[in-house]
Chain A
Amino acid sequence: MPKVANKIHILIIAVFACLFLMAATAGAQTPPADAPAGSSLEQRVAQRKKERAVALDQNTTERLQNRCTDAQGKIRSIRGSYTTSSNKRNDVYKDIDAKLWIIIGSLKLIDKDTFTLEQQRLELLKQIKAFDNASVQMRQTLDDITAINCKADPAGFKSLLETAKIYNSQVRSSFVSIKTYIVDQIKPTLSSLANDLKIKASTE
């Protein structure tokens, strides 16, 4: 009986340990909230520290303090190229939206049913907005990383860096989602409309 009791105790401890690990992991993966408009650097650092709940041991703290300045230099150049890429991408998305808007308008002139295409355009706009928001938050976070005194606040530096990684992941998944939506949904709708017009032209 004592052996069985011991096994049960071990099992209960293991279950709690798993639950604890899952909770810790979930906390680390929690998407960051948007930084409030008009917030200061200190406010944003405090927000990210609270969100990420980074705990640094002595070794990690010293390592960060020794290396963070060089990392800030690299992040500064990443931030520059990031801005260029996201602006270019936004222009492409705006161009696609404008073309859809024009084709919807011209199809309406000949009384074609554009409901599906209009709905798809609205969904695309929603996804573009999500990408744009993630880009803006990402750029703000990168700015904060380069602005913070990383030697004085390595935990804040680490929290911002972890936040930036999450935003980078969000940005990447959003533009993949946009591309997939355009290729799998919008383009087939346009092809279908073109086919309808071809059939109509051939029968007239």
Chain B
Amino acid sequence: MRYLCLIYDEEKVMATMPKPEADAFMREYFTFTEGVKASGHYVAGEALHPVSTATTLRIRHGKTSTTDGPFAETKEQLGGFYLIEAADLNAALQIAAKIPSARTGSVEVRPVVDFSRMP
């Protein structure tokens, strides 16, 4: 079963991390990614540009509204994701626990709908 791990961090904190710490953090991410690929659980994963680069689109009653920024202002902002394959939630949580941002921010683990198994 597939799970999406949504990675949230406080962008302000991340941006003001001193360079040696930030580099070490990136290296941890590199190690994690290599590990989850080697174990066969990795399906996809990306880092995102900060929320200031986001554009939110809403169409209501035929009217398109394009606004600058994320869909909502939140204390922690979405910074990236991993799509993983795992046998069950416990296995997915064990993998997600190794994502570096689990220690600095939050990682939301959400099951992916499998349309092929619906009646």
- Whether both chains belong to one complex is answered with no
